[in-house]
Amino acid sequence: MIRPIALSFTALLAVAGLTPALVHAQTTEVVASGLQNPWGVAFIGEGRMLVTERPGRMRVVGADGRVGEPLAGLPPVEAGGQGGLLDVITDRAFASNRTVYFCYSEPAASGGGNSTAMASARLSADASRLEDVKVIFSQAPKVSSRAHFGCRIVQAGDGSLFLTLGDRYSRMNDAQTLDNHHGKVVRVRSTGGAHPDNPFVGRAGALPEIWSFGHRNLQGAALAPDGRLWTSEHGPQGGDEINRPEAGKNHGWPVITFGQNYGGGTIGEGITRREGMEQPLHQWTPSIAPSGLAFVTSERYGPSWQGNLLAGSLKFRYLSRLVIEGDRVVREEKLLPDLNQRVRDVRQGPDGFIYLLTDDRNGQLLRLLPGR
């Protein structure tokens, strides 16, 4: 059953370097509950949704909010730490081909270690299982780590797929080299293989799937209304970022960052700029731990919201509304300050409403209702 939750007004807050942030009362309603650490949500028609649970399950949530049994057919998933079954999206032509894409922590076939992988599959007619599962990308090399998997998927206008990949924490320097997939955004065809227009195709010593590099741990990604990719990225202690990765661009990690080592102390030379490295479009210090990203194109929330970017905060447990002018974030409004749940995913549904997943052992799927 869908249950309304009213969330109260709190004091105005400020965002350093920006117009003062606004905090307004908002209302959500619970669409579904009882989800164990849900991570990604995708829409499959008739009011139904696919939801992943990090321990390694994918379920259908019905239009009535009922949570179905786990789908059969998933490949082996190594769940632990930050890893597990993570993002899921539907193909642009899902209504005719029933194709879904999902990413997860893939265990090594032998010798230990893991990495982020992405697979395609067909959702069965009765939505009970995944069929024709095919791994279309596997991050290399595999390492023994339980952290920084990245793992957001975005389908571009031509049908190709962007996938965000973390630096695996212990391999942060790999983000600056092109012979591995750590700390990268990759772009692959929907059937697998590097997109032929990728910037490093044919370059000696570079992996052809790489789109951009110098990233830390990207857990949010979305296409803007103009078709360009935007991402959100976890910094260390401070320095969370909003970026717009472009072909071949270096986003600087770990050479430049607005963050510090955990417990204090500089990372590398402690610099925030270097020639040839991109500056973030927006950064948060202290860190908010951003995860889940969506552009608002719906008219449900009024004209002032159209073109805005929404980002979930895991650390401070709110929803951030970022007002965009061109390539600049000019204002932040902090929504749902009393939610008290980690916001893991943010999506706009085909009905125009914004949906949120909360990351908890008893996680929820929420619908954001237009504010007063």
What local confidence, expressed as pLDDT, does residue 372 receive? Answer: 64
Q: Over the stretch 164-187, which tens digit does the pLDDT of each residue have?
A: 999 999 999 999 999 999 999 999
Query: Could you tell me the maximum CA-CA distance found in the chain, to the nearest angstrom?
Result: 57
Question: Does residue 149 register a pLDDT over 50?
Answer: yes
Q: Over the stretch 233-282, which tens digit does the pLDDT of each residue have?
A: 999 999 999 999 999 999 999 999 999 999 999 999 999 999 999 999 99
Q: Over the stretch 311-328, which tens digit does the pLDDT of each residue have?
A: 999 999 999 999 999 989
At 371, the pLDDT band (50, 70, 90 cuts) reads confident
Question: Does residue 6 register a pLDDT over 70?
Answer: no
Q: Which of 24, 148, 215, 234 is catalytic?
A: 148
Question: Does residue 367 register a pLDDT over 70?
Answer: yes
CB burial class (10 A; 0-12, 13-18, 19+) of residue 301?
buried
Mean pLDDT of the chain: 93
What local confidence, expressed as pLDDT, does residue 26 receive? Answer: 75
pLDDT (mean) for 333-345:
96
Q: Residue 73, Cα to own-chain centre: how many angstroms?
A: 24
Question: Does residue 297 register a pLDDT over 50?
Answer: yes
What local confidence, expressed as pLDDT, does residue 8 receive? Answer: 33
What local confidence, expressed as pLDDT, does residue 358 receive? Answer: 98
Answer yes or no: 148 catalytic.
yes
Residue 89, amino acid: I
Q: Return the CATH architecture of domain 3-369.
A: 6 Propeller (2.120)
Q: Residue 32, Cα to own-chain centre: how many angstroms?
A: 21
CA separation, residue 140 to residues 186, 187, 354 (Å): 12, 14, 35
Task: Give the span between the Cα atoms of 102 and 105, in whole angstroms.
Answer: 11
pLDDT (mean) for 89-104:
98
What local confidence, expressed as pLDDT, does residue 25 receive? Answer: 52
